[in-house]
Amino acid sequence: MNDTRKAVLDALDDGPVTGPDLAAQLDVSRAAVWKHVEALREDGFEIDSGDDGYRLESVPEFGGPAVEYGLDAPFDVEYHESVPSTNVVARELADDGASDVAVLADEQTGGKGRLDREWTSPSGGVWLSVVLRPDLPPARVPMLTLAAAVAATDAAREAGVDAEIKWPNDVLVGDRKLVGILTEMEGEADRVSWVIPGIGVNANIPADELPEGAVSLQTEVGPVERRLFVQRLLERLDELRSDPDAILDAWRERSATLGQEVRVETPEGIVEGVAKDVDLPGTLLVETDDGVERIHAGDCEHL
């Protein structure tokens, strides 16, 4: 967004301002003020003109200008209308040395899920990948996935949706999936170079565009302001990312899995029992007939 348009929005932030006052404040002509206001309206900003001047009524819920102007996040956010996969874009940024950057898109044409599955990503979603450079050994990285799950759950709850986490990192409403997370990383044996949690939130997506077994924020509470949802999610991720104990406590509190009978498909075979606890970096403790099993990875089903 150009600087004058940003200055117009900033000037309107505290209430209405007349055209002549705006022109004087910004040191441009009244015709130029009018032109910038028109351009902002075309970008979706609702600006009324009344007796007391121009008044900013609302910011668009999503999109490039909304993210640039109305998203105050602890990460730089790069917005795209449509990309094959935000994880792929984020990877390219990471390879170029970026850090603490979030890639956000309205639509993905080649969204990637866990275990080489496809991830349906129509327009209306929150498809988000965050480039992090934590000072961690690779074995500790799963805790960042737990943090991302907590952050997405909290943002969903603040939007009025009763979300819970299924181990390791699916966010569910009842038994239907609202959010999936695919974390990718690169590094050496003792230290990661970068980690990218890729977070897919079925946000403003109608029921007939969702895959089977999925739910969206829209189907639960109606369309949400995705800009504010993303802001909350990124704020929470930032608060948690270097605090393992807080991540674990928050994950336990939001868990749908703990206390449940589960069946987990692990690379070593099936484990069935009662999910007792989760331990760092994201290990599930399942009480079976043969004692407590510690599960590091797998597909978990609640029985």
Binding interface with ligand BTN (CB under 6 A): 85-87, 108, 111-114, 117, 119, 121, 127-129, 170, 180-182, 198-200
- Cβ nearer to ligand BTN, comparing 115 with 189: 115
Q: Considering the complex, state which of residue 175 and residue 287 has its C-beta at the smaller distance from ligand BTN.
A: 175
Residue 87: CB minimum distance to ligand BTN, A: 4
Q: Which amino acid is at 178?
A: L
**Minimal distance, residue 199 CB to ligand BTN, in Å:** 6
Distance, CA of 266 to chain centre: 27
Torsion of CA 198, 201, 202, 203, to 10 degrees: -140
Sort strands 176-187 and 170-173 into parallel, antiparallel or unpaired. Answer: antiparallel
C-alpha to C-alpha distance for 22 and 7, rounded to whole angstroms:
9
- Pick 197 or 273: Cβ nearer ligand BTN: 197
To ligand BTN, the closest distance from the beta carbon of 166 in angstroms equals 10
Enclosing H/E stretch for 83 = strand 76-83
**Which DSSP state fits 72?**
-
Residue 118, both tokens: 């496809």
Contact 69, 102 (CB under 8 A): no
Nearer to ligand BTN, 66 or 89 (CB): 89
Closest CB to ligand BTN: residue number? 180
- Six-digit token pair at 139? 């074995």
Minimum distance from residue 139 beta carbon to ligand BTN (Å): 21
Nearest-approach distance from CB 177 to ligand BTN, in angstroms: 7
Q: Quick one: 36 or 166, whose CB is closer to ligand BTN?
A: 166
